[in-house]
Amino acid sequence: ADGEISTKTKKQTLNIAHRGASGYAPENTLAAFEKAVDMKAEMIELDVQMSKDGELVVIHDTTVDRTTDGTGAVKDLTYEEIAELDAGSFFSEEFVGEKIPTLGEVLDQFRGRTGILIEIKSPYLYPEIEQKVADELISRNMDKPNNNKIIVQSFDHQSMKTFQSILPSVPVGVLLSYSPDGISDAQLADFARYAEYVNPNKDMMDADLLERIHEFGMKSHPWTVRDQESADFLLELEVDGIITDYPDYVDPHK
């Protein structure tokens, strides 16, 4: 009505830069994470896998082919071989010389500057990767309750159960691909036994799903926003966080 003042306070939705600000810099590189911090993202999302000799490296695909000047499976390359690759030139000339970072490098460079959402990618390829990720956090004293500044997530829900049992102080999330069947209450009840986040494909998110996730005591960071309309829709729903390649779509004022 005329003159009526809305008393509804908008909930703070976390702005989470997917693989860093990957719309503006090569994904999963220090340049993309720095860009995300410049753009005031509250968290950076990254994908972690393991080299042949057991180093945790930050890369999305299970091969280096798409995002570097090399070829081969991450699990078949030594860290020395991976460290030589150029992970910037696939994106643009400006980023020639960017490297595939280790998880440790990202933790050291960004702790205290932004939250870090660590996705364990394809853990079936990497025996005991959960323990290795936990060790990286423990050795840096980053395994303490931390206001959710560190979250670990995976599409592999068994891996998240494993991680949660190794390091219960660090919250875990379950990732869900799009399914036309949605997410049942039985699934949510199961997730709630170990997870704090249910992070679905954004095309599954609506008011009903968000409410049910909250009723089960969990939060939700849907992915991956690459257009303003999707960002606006999710902001209106007041999801807990939005995982996006373009941090400016989530918060144009920052």
* Contact residues: ligand G3P, CB under 6 A: 18, 45, 47, 60, 119, 175, 223-224, 243
Active site residue 157: no
- Determine if 27 is a binding residue for Ca ion (CB under 5 A): no
Cβ(146)–Cβ(167) below 8 Å: no
- Residue of closest CB approach to Ca ion: 119
Q: Which of 116, 141, 113 is nearest to 28 (CA)?
A: 116
Q: Are 62 and 71 in contact (CB under 8 A)?
A: no
Nearest distance from C-beta of residue 68 to ligand G3P, angstroms:
17
Non-local (6+) Cβ contacts of 180 within 8 A are none
> What's the min distance (Å) between Cβ of 121 and ligand G3P?
7
Q: Smaller CB distance to ligand G3P: residue 37 or 117?
A: 117
The rounded distance, in Å, linking the Cα atoms of 33 and 87 is: 14
Nearest residue to ligand G3P by CB is 223
- The dihedral sign for the CA sequence 43, 44, 47, 53: negative
Q: Active site includes 253?
A: no
Residue 176 binding result from ligand G3P, Ca ion, none, given CB thresholds of 5 to 8 Å by partner type: none
| Beta carbons of 59 and 47 less than 8 angstroms apart | yes
When the beta carbons of 148 and 224 are compared against ligand G3P, the nearer one is 224
Q: Which does 223 bind (CB under 5 to 8 A by kind): ligand G3P, Ca ion, none?
A: ligand G3P
Catalytic residues: 18, 60
